[in-house]
A and B are shown apart, each in its own frame.
Chain A
Amino acid sequence: MKRKISLSINGKPYTDEVEPRLLLIHYLREVAALTGPHIGCETSICGACTVMLDGRAVKSCTMFAVQADGREVVTIEGLAANGTLDPVQEAFWNEHGLQCGYCTPGMIMAAKQLLADNPNPTEREIRHGLEGNLCRCTGYQHIVNAVKSAVAKAGV
C-alpha cells in the first residue's frame, strides 16, 4: 500500500507515492535521484547519509521517507548557492578534509550542525560533534582543521 508524500528537497517541491517501508536515504537517492547522501552502514553508525531535516542533521538511513512528509530536507547538493561553495565545503577543500570523499557529504552536514549549535567550538568540541560520522581515510585531523578554518573565516 503506497502512501503519498510531499516534501521539499533543497528548496524544490517533491510529491511521490512511496511504500511506507522505503527508507529516506533510498527515497533521496533512488526517487529524487540525488547522489550526495551516501549509504555506508544502514545502522546509523557511519553518518555518510546525514542530511538536514527541518534544519537538524539526521541519518537518513534509519528513518522512513514517509516520516519526512511535509518537511524540508537539505542535502549536500543544496549547500552551494549559485555555484558558490558553502564556507564549510570550501574549508574541507582548503584543508584536505577528505580523501576518497565517500563520508564527506555526511561529514560536512554534521559539521554544519555542529557550527549551528556552537559557532566557536574548541578542538574537543569539534571532535565530539563529529563522533557520529566515520571517516576511514583522514584520521580526522584535517577534518578538524577544516572546521577550525571555517570558524576562523566566519570571524567568530
Chain B
Amino acid sequence: METMVHVFLMGKQYEVPASLTIMGAFEYAGYQLVRGCGCRNGFCGACATVYRVKGDSELHACLACQTQVVDNMYIAMLPFFPVVKQVYDIEKVTPSQMIMMQLYPEIYACIGCNACTKSCTQDLNVMQYIAYAQRGEFEKCAEESFDCVMCGVCSSRCPAGISHPQVAMLARRLNGKYLAPKSAHLEKRVQEIQAGDFEGMMEELMQKPLAELQELYNHREIEQ
C-alpha cells in the first residue's frame, strides 16, 4: 500500500500518493491540465506554483513538475502572471546602462527586500542580477540569470513592479550579441561556404556509390 498525503489543490482537499509531484497530484485528482503544464521537466516555467504547508507562515514558490507533494500542502497554480515586456529593435540598441533606464526604469525603484530571490523557483540570486542590470553590467547579469525559466514568480512578489525575467532576457541578448567575444572561426567558415569553397568536396562525396560511403563512414578518423 503506497503512502498517501492530504493536499489542497486550489483549496480543495484530495488524498494523493506521497511519491507524486504537484503536477502528478493534479492529474491523479482528475485534472487534465491545459494551462500550467509545458515541458514537465523544469525548463519552460509554465507551471509556477505557490504553496504553504499547514502550520508554516511562509509562502513558498516552485515549479509543479519539479516538486514533490508533502502532507497538508495548500497549493495554488500561477500559470500566468502579467509581466511587462518592452519591445525594442536588437539591431538598434546599445549595450549601455542607458538602455535599461529607457526600457525598464522601474528596476531603479528596487527597495532591496529580496522577495524575488526568496521566491525564485530556480534558486537564482534574482536581486543580485537586477543590481547588475541597474549598473549596466550585462555580462554579470546574463551569467547570474542564465538558468531563469521565466516563470514570473519573482515579479508576482515584487513591491516595485519589476519584470525581472524580461530585464534578464534583455541583458542576455545584449551580452550574446554585443559584449561576448566574436568567433573568428565561425565568421571565416560562413564566408568560405558563401564563396563556394566546399561545393567541390560536397559534390564529390555525395556522388559516391553507397558501398563506398559505407566504407568511408565505417573507417573515418575520429577526433580524440
A and B interact: no
Binding site for B on A (CB under 8 A): none
Binding site for A on B (CB under 8 A): none
